[in-house]
Chain A
Amino acid sequence: MKSEFISNKIRTQRFFAGEMTQQELADKTGVTRQTIVAIENGKYFPTLELSFRIAYVFGKTLEEVFAYKADEDPVLIKLKKSKDKTKPI
């Protein structure tokens, strides 16, 4: 399940952190390397707790590591559509 509206810059942040390996990041955040791989590939959305921990390891804020595009969020698009339908003409 690949998401288009939530993305992350973990790969870039690892590069700027002296080419930190996925295993090192996994060890510092208390998860497996496979989970880091899945997050980087957009196959898994980490919990808020893990997201904060990853950002903390890089010394960044959540917004600097993770990005959210509200206009591409299917739930918001669906809600907007249903709202438009109920609008009086």
Chain B
Amino acid sequence: MKEPLTFQEKQILVSLFNTLIILVAYSYYLHSKYAAFTDQMLNDLQFLGKAFLMLIPITIVVQVVFLIIFHIVVRIISSEKIPEITDERDKLIELKSIRISHWVFISGFFMAMGSQALGMKPFVMFLALIISGFLAGIVSDIAKFIYYRKGV
């Protein structure tokens, strides 16, 4: 018999959904705003830095808003008690998933640095960092979900 999803598992799925939404929305935003990417623009470190930094507050705001909505929805439609504490199992799962996501991000970081060592354009470094950042978030959520579901 399949076990129903626990609160933590649902929360992870919401987080994963958020990450994917942000990834799609951010890509679309950059593409529509800077449709006419000039070669000069793509290699302007100031522009790339701004585009990267802009992502951080947007991600935080979207994640917080979605989590608030999720908590409200769970309280309204489900009789499940929302855990108010983070216990040792939650902390262990968090640590294990962070370790996996760090490896993913570090791989992306090395690829980014490698692209510069090979003389590629700064835009390649920017892309490698952005993609590895998103991948690290997605992998972290998937790892957490598996640990909660299969055991740790």
Contacts and interface: CB of A to CB of B under 8 A. Distances in A.
* Chain A interface SS verdict (over half): loop
B24 interface: no
Contacts of B8: 32, 34
A1 B151 contact: yes
Nearest to A41: B151
7 contacts: A30-B87, A32-B85, A33-B83, A34-B89, A37-B6, A46-B88, A49-B88
A29 B115 CA distance: 52
B152 interface: yes
Interface residues of A, number: 19
Interface string B91-131: 00000000000000000000000000000000000000000
Interface of A: 1-2, 23, 30-35, 37-38, 41-44, 46-47, 49-50
